[in-house]
Amino acid sequence: MSEVFGTLTVLLALAAVSALAIRSLWRDHKRKGGCNGDCCSCGSCGGCAEKERSL
């Protein structure tokens, strides 16, 4: 019975750490924004600016 208890404890701890990591990633994504697929609206992408200059 103690083997099962130990395994469950480790699994619960791993699930808690995983949930906290996912929560942190999700909060960072919501705070900073993410890629919306429109590179021209992204300030860190110079590809569209170069295309517009050449036109």
The DSSP code sequence of 19-36 is: HHHHHHHHHHHHHH----
Q: What is the pTM of this model?
A: 0.54
For residue 28, what are its two tokens? 């960072």
Could you tell me which residue, 1 or 51, shows the higher pLDDT? 1
Report the pLDDT value the prediction gives residue 21, as an integer from 0 to 100: 96
For residue 1, what are its two tokens? 């019975």
Distance of CA 13 to the CA centre of its chain: 21
pLDDT digits (tens, 9 = 90+) for 6-46: 999 999 999 999 999 999 988 887 787 666 666 666 666 65
Rounded to 10 degrees, the C-alpha dihedral 41/42/43/45 comes to: -120
